Structure 1
Amino acid sequence: MAYERTLDLNSDAFRGEAYRHYAALRQASPVFLSQAEGQLPMWYVTGAREVEEVLLDNERFARDPSRIDAQFAAMLGGEQSIAFLNDHMLNRDGDSHRRLRRLVNKAFTLKAVNALRPRIEQIAETLLEPVRSSGRMDVVSQYAFPLSITVIAELLGVPAQDRDDFRRWSHMIVQQVGHDLSELQRCYNEFAGYMLALIDQRRAQPGDDLVSALVQVEEEGSRLSQSELCSMIALLIIAGHETSASMIGNAVHMLVQHPKALARLRDEPTLMPGAVEELLRYDSAVERAMVRFVTRDTELAGQRLQRGQLLIAVVGSANRDEALCANPDTLDITRPACPHMSFGKGTHYCLGASLARQELEIALNTLLRCCPGLRLAVDPGAVRWRYVPNFRGPEALPVCWSVD
């Protein structure tokens, strides 16, 4: 394909037609090297089989840059404040990753997540109450983001008055572009400073929250270091609401464009668990897995990859591959279980997957029940996508509904 070497997957033009582009890329070359101007050369993996191979193989495709070069890893870590927010399990492999995952895993067991259901339902109802009589709202800013940030903040024990700061910090960190280096550094410093103060507070006065549990947790004599604690909390905050908010926005965006499916879910809420899986597959909030580092010269789908090169597995493309399921570009809320990769695969499978599923199910059921006749309030072509490298979600999603 002639344009492969300069393709910019972050451009508005690409994002607006992402799945059409991904289909063409899978057909031409499911593994290709992009050398877009101003960006590092990057291998993109778009085929389902190849994406699964990358996600399951931590030996050839590592998350930990120190496995390539210690100096390179130090350079990526940057200033101390940045390092304090990046010393988490997603940037580790092997025993180091397993140790960190074990220490936080207890908070995300199915039993623990199910205990949150009544509170999540209450939050969703509370958010919709002031707008029900108006017959319109922006799903993203008035429902998806407030719901997801409230859930994760309450789980962690972050005071309500600080949640706007968390949203601002996390937006800037995941977006990166559009901010100068001094602005980003200030954001990192503020975020790290807040985390350290919160950790000190919970050490002195433990509460019934996840931060207190992480401060006190010990398993096989292994505690989280100060840097690991700070990074783990930051990861949970950012991943816990950025992805969940985009997930809700994407699902509503799809349903208002498929009114028959929307009406059926409203009338038959028992279909929602299966519909959630299909919505997660059809338009994944995590469009691309975090960058991997090629640890040795190797081959993937006929392409020769060299040690030290960067690689991204495009989950959103893999979920629309015919190798994964039949008629992948059709939204079918009654589709039999499909092994989508929206939460990853292997050792880095999303720790919060069960919580995310529950949030989406509750958010949709509550919205369809409280807002009859839900529909898009703008032309579908007017919906724009957030400029966030790894995530996919609408910037805004104006909807309206019938008011008696």
Structure 2
Amino acid sequence: MVETVDLGEFGDDFRRNPHPVYARLRERGPVHRVRLPEEDHVTWLVVGHAEARAALADPRLAKDASRMGRTFPDDRAIGRHLLVSDPPQHTRLRSLVSRAFTVRRVEELRPRIQEITDDLLDAMLPHGRADLVESLAYPLPLTVICELLGVPELDRTEFRKLSSEAVAPTSAQAERDAFVRLGEYLTELIEDKRCAGPSGDLLSDLIRTTAQDGDRLSPGELRGMAFVLLIAGHETTVNLISNAVHALLTHPDQLAALRADMTLLDGAVEETLRYEGPVENATYRFAAEPLEIAGVPVAPGEAVMIGLTAAGRDAERFPAPDGFDIRRDNRGHLAFGHGIHYCLGAPLARLEARTAIRSLVERAPSLALDGPPGEWIPGMLMRGMRSLPLRWTPSSDPRA
């Protein structure tokens, strides 16, 4: 009989720093049966890099839970979307959204992203101390994705609350309520844009996107696509920015290297993605047929969780994995996934993170931690801090 590891037994230490636990599991093997903290739920957990990479691209691991008779809080409220679909439906949905959400469109956002960043820092830096999450890491990607999709500014505070509850719920009922309210809001937003006609934002373009064969996104698919783009388009980037700044400030030699040579900026972002990526584990997959992962049998219908954070610290792929080294060859990290479900918003997240980190480091040369970080986000999905207190000398801002 396979042993079930109860991750809840590790207590709050596991939430703050899961890496030692994942390392001990990896020593025993790349795949384990685990019980999730604060949940009466058992799943397979993949903690090895090679095994995680293979599992992410394995077509026998389905994302559509309904094929196995399972349901989740967002199934009815939100509907079908990229994170819960398999080919051929996934292929069709991704093809349609890719027609509107292009690399060129992301690149065109560069000046606006810089402008938003500068405005946020103009408001933040004269005070000499602030919470990075509240002052920069959260409002930057939230503003960008809401502007990109055409979400009215007055709606963004409420949207933030619902989004946070959806990705890191405080209770099962609160999670269900958040998905219902998000579904209702997105339905109304889409209908308003449909009636208003073309306006140049991404959601309006998605409403009118048509494939060569005349195929279009249905109302339910539009709602699901808006949900994925809004949630994944900012929640993960919040953590990427705050995790990167935290890693740099707790590794002063790496921060000094970056200040001396800004060509290392890409390396700093990619190393953060490997070392403390914004998503701890990929969303569930389910065995659509009997299979083995690294020799471990997985029965049809069983849930599989793929550890992106764990894979990033696998010494077989990344030597001295617990070190933070912005010059490291970190190619092959899995922070944005792998295979057909590779993150659609990766170029936007990278652009926002590079802009935020460069601007903050250049404009606050005396930047330092102003105490310990706040609570780490609960659950097994997101990896980030609720707050990150910082301080600096206000007069050091070269733009002041």
Q: TM-score range by the shorter chain?
A: over 0.9
Aligned-pair distance for 1:84? Answer: 3.8
| Residue identity opposite 2:318 in structure 1 | C
1:51 matched to 2:52? The reply is yes
Task: State the alpha-carbon separation in 2 of the partners of residues 368 and 161 from structure 1.
Answer: 31
Describe the superposition over 1:128-176 as per-residue Cα deviations: whole angstroms up to 9, x where unpaired.
1122121111011111110010010000011111111110111111122
In structure 2, which of residues 106, 109, 121 is the aligned counterpart of residue 116 of structure 1? 109
Contact persistence 2:101–2:202 (CA under 8 A) = no
Alignment partner, residue 210 of structure 1: 202
Could you say what secondary structure the match of 1:8 adopts?
A: helix
Q: CA RMSD in A?
A: 1.9
Q: How many residues align?
A: 391
Q: CA shift at 1:77, angstroms?
A: 4.9
- Look up the SS of the partner of 1:311 in the other structure: strand
Q: Secondary structure at the match of 1:229?
A: helix
Of the candidates 248, 254, 257, which is equivalent to residue 264 of structure 1? 257
Shift of 1:179: 2.9
Partner of 2:129: 136
**For residues 37-95 of structure 1, what are the alpha-carbon distances to aligned partners after superposition, in whole Å with 9 as ceiling and x for unaligned?**
7422110000011101110102x211012333xxx14xx156xx752414101111111
Letter in 1 for 2:16: G
Which of 179, 187, 193 pairs up with 1:188?
Answer: 179
Match runs of 1:61-210 below 5 Å? 61-68=61-68, 72-73=69-70, 76-77=71-72, 82-176=75-169, 178-179=170-171, 181=173, 183-205=174-196, 206-210=198-202
Structure 2: unaligned runs, 5 residues or longer: 396-400
Which region of structure 1 is more displaced relative to structure 2, 90-99 or 265-274?
A: 265-274
Partners of 1:299 and 1:305 within 8 A in 2: yes
Q: Which deviations, in whole Å up to 9, do the C-alpha atoms of 1:260-302 show, x marking residues without a partner?
A: 2112212322221122111111111011001010112222223
Change (3 A) 1:34 1:149: same
**Off by >4 Å, runs of 4+ in structure 1:** none
> What letter corresponds to residue 350 of structure 2 in structure 1?
R
Q: Deviations over 1:299-355 (max 9, x none)?
A: 222322111111100010101112222222211111235210000000000001111
Distance 1:268 1:163 in 2: 37
CA distance in 2, matches of 1:7, 1:139: 30
Q: Do 1:371 and 1:402's aligned partners in 2 also have CA atoms closer than 8 Å?
A: yes
Distance 2:154 2:331 in 1: 41
The residue number in structure 2 matching 1:374 is 367
- 1:64 alignment partner AA: D
Deviation at 1:180, TM superposition (A): 5.3
Counterpart contact for 2:281–2:308, Cα < 8 Å: yes
Does residue 392 (structure 1) correspond to residue 393 (structure 2)? The answer is no
The equivalent residue for 1:330 is 323
Q: 1:396 to 1:9 in 2, by over 3 A?
A: farther
Note if contact 1:274-1:333 (Cα within 8 Å) is conserved in structure 2.
yes
Q: Which residue of 2 aligns with 1:26?
A: 26
Could you tell me the percent identity over the aligned residues? 39
Instruction: Give yes or no for the alignment of 1:351 onto 2:344.
Output: yes
- Counterpart of 1:7 in structure 2 is 7
Unpaired runs of at least 5, structure 1? none
Counterpart in the other structure of 2:398:
none
Where 2:199 maps in the other structure, the secondary structure is coil
CA distance in 2, matches of 1:95, 1:38: 33
Contact 1:10 1:387 (C-alpha < 8 Å) held by counterparts: no
1:187 deviation in Å?
Answer: 2.7
Secondary structure of 1:338's counterpart equals coil
SS in 2 for 1:253: helix
Please state whether the residue corresponding to 1:94 is helix, strand or coil.
coil
- Equivalence map 1:212-361=2 (5 Å): 212-219=204-211, 220-361=213-354
Give yes or no for contact 2:274–2:330 (8 Å, CA) kept in 1.
no
The answer as to whether partners of 1:84 and 1:228 remain within 8 angstroms in 2 is no
Report the more deviating stretch, 139-148 or 317-326: 317-326
- Indicate the residue corresponding to 1:401 in structure 2: 392
In the aligned structure 2, how far is the partner of 1:204 from the partner of 1:328? 53
Helix, strand or coil at the partner of 1:33: strand
TM-score, length-scaled by structure 1: 0.92
Kept after mapping to 1: 8 A contact 2:274/2:335: yes
